[in-house]
Amino acid sequence: MAARMLAVLAVVLMSGVGAAQAAKRIDLDYRVQLVPELDQARVEMVLEKGEAVRGIVVLHDDPRYTDFEADGEWVPEEGRSIWRPSPGKARLRWNVQVTEARANGALEARMTEDWALFRGEDLLPTMELTQAEGVELVTRLQFALPKGWRGVETGWPRIGENRFRIDDPSRLFDRPSGWMLAGRIGSRRAKLGETNVTVAAPIGEKVRRMDILTLLTFVWPEAQNAFHRSPKKLLIVGAGDPMWRGGLSGPNSLYMHAERPLVSENGTSSLVHELVHVFTRIRDTDQSDWITEGLAEYYAIELLRRAGGMTEERYQQVRKHLIGWSRDVKSLRTDNATGPITARAVLYLQDLDREIRQASKNRHSLDDLTRALMRLDRVTTDDFIALSEALLGGPAPILKSRLLR
């Protein structure tokens, strides 16, 4: 474990270059027709050469997906079907309901007669693909919009009218993902660093697009300095009630409710919190959600502070609030961090940052640890401790805290 963590940290502190083997490139197109009168999207998955895929298992675990039609062999089984595409151009079609509600009635996705706001992941049912060897799928997404709808925004590069290129290095099987918005919408755009940023919302939903861009412009240089990477494109979408009154990140994108404050009364920012998730893309396992949520909230405070948006007096007031909120927390270990656990994680991370700076004579900080964690597929508390030890020069009392047990 220690050797692996040292290798990860070495990559962060130095530079490395990888090479990819050449593969035969085969087109994979997703074509989406939005049908507001039915609250549906009609999705067509088109393979340029069906023989490039040995088979796709489609799980039938969600009743929103209906009316499957396939070119080739379609084998229904218990709880799933297997699609073996025919040679040459092959298609799989289905319908999906767009509007989706949480248990409390708030909507996670919505389609009206004028617009649709949803996550790209929800366009497809759960699928497991077996790909032929030596094949690379070149994936595109195209929308057909109802009459009167102005356009569509996604977090992926635009390659034509309502057409996008999907390329996710973390996946073998690229599929639509991230937040998407179509219809009668308004957008504001800016180039921040190397990232093309779009803030979009349905017309009349009272999303403060320019306020959002202004705050992003303010903190963006500090985010780049902290994480040393940024998305090529970022889409921020929002809407009002009855959409869920929170914020949620996705690949190259994030959602914020129209009435969510950019900076809350407790001194933190839901917008910056979700932005950190987009930048870092850290995923956790083994009851280590405190790392993912703690880092996002730590930087939601810290980036504002570094950018000059928070005085030292205000920073100490924020810490006082976190201390009171998390007073009863005994352990950070959980699969789903609550507000008090996240607050206690922030305090722990602030203390750890101070320890790292002191031990390294200000050569390193929590930023170095975060960048190392960003290189792991899934982060555990053991990984966190091992990487911290590497930066601290060995075991330290702060890493033996009962909070990490």
Q: Are residues 164 and 198 both part of a single domain?
A: no
In the block, residue with structure tokens 């755009």: 189
Place of tokens 């998730």: 277
**Same domain assignment for residues 28 and 123:** yes
Q: Is there a single domain that holds both residue 220 and residue 342? A: no
Give the tokens for residue 180: 């998407």
Residue 72's CATH number: 2.60.40.3650
pLDDT recorded at residue 205: 95
Residue 275: inside a domain, yes or no?
no
* Assigned domain for 2 exists: no
Q: Judge whether 155 and 45 are in contact, CB under 8 Å.
A: no
DSSP 231: -
Shared-domain flag, residues 161 and 203 = no
Q: Are residues 157 and 76 in the same domain?
A: yes
Residue at 100 is within a domain:
yes
Residue 20 is predicted with a pLDDT of: 45
Indicate whether 224 belongs to any domain: yes
Per-residue pLDDT, 18 = 43
200 close to 237: Cβ distance less than 8 angstroms: yes
Tally of domains in the chain: 3
Q: Give the chain's radius of gyration (CA, Å).
A: 23
Dist CA 232 CA 154 (whole Å): 12
Residue 364 CB coordination number (10 Å): 18
- Domain assignment present for residue 271? The answer is no
Q: What is the DSSP string of 165-195?
A: EE--TT-SS----SEEEEESEEEEEEEETTE
Q: Is there a single domain that holds both residue 247 and residue 371? A: no
Q: How far apart are CA 208 and CA 195, in angstroms?
A: 20
Counts for the chain of helices (H) and strands (E), in that order: 8, 21
- Pairing type for strands 72-77 and 80-85 reads antiparallel
Q: Is residue 337 part of a domain?
A: yes
The answer to whether residues 152 and 182 touch, using CB atoms and an 8 Å cutoff, is yes
Are 156 and 192 within one domain?
no
pLDDT value for 46: 97
Residue 168 burial class via C-beta count within 10 angstroms: exposed 0-12, middle 13-18, buried 19 and up? middle
Tell me the Ramachandran region of residue 183: left when phi exceeds 0, alpha when psi lies from -120 to 50, beta otherwise: left
Alpha-carbon gap, residue 298 to 276, rounded angstroms? 10
Residue 267 included in any domain = no
Domain termination residue (choose one: 226, 259, 292)? 259
Residues 388 and 309 in one domain: yes
Return d(Cα 293, Cα 303) in angstroms, integer: 15
Laid out side by side, the sheet with 158-160 consists of 65-70, 90-97, 40-47, 24-35, 135-144, 163-166, 158-160
Look at strands 233-239 and 195-202 and give their pairing. Answer: parallel
Tokens of 119: 């996550």
Run of H or E residues at 4: helix 2-13
Q: Residue 274 falls within a domain, yes or no?
A: no
| 69 and 170, same domain (yes or no) | yes
Prediction pTM value: 0.91
Q: Average pLDDT for consecutive 10-residue bins of the chain (405 residues)? A: 56 46 83 98 96 92 95 94 95 98 94 98 94 86 97 96 92 91 97 97 96 97 96 96 95 96 92 97 97 98 96 96 97 97 98 97 97 96 97 94 95
Range of the domain at 242: 184-259
Whether residue 149 is found in the same domain as residue 289 = no
Q: What are the CB-based long-range contacts (under 8 Å, 24+) for 381-385? A: 381/286, 381/287, 381/288, 381/290, 381/291, 381/332, 381/333, 382/1, 382/286, 383/1, 383/5, 384/288, 384/291
Distance in Å from the first CA to the final CA of the chain: 18
Question: Do residues 228 and 163 both lie within one domain?
Answer: no
Q: Which of 178, 224, 231, 168 is nearest to 200 (CA)?
A: 178
| 162 and 191 part of one domain | no
Mark which of 179, 208, 223 sits at the end of a domain: 179
Residue 52: how many CB atoms within 10 A of its CB? 21
* Matching residue, tokens 């929800």: 122
Domain final residue pick, 162, 179, 196: 179
Q: What is the CATH number of the domain that holds 206?
A: 3.30.2010.30
**Rounded-to-integer distance, Cα 229 and Cα 333, Å:** 28
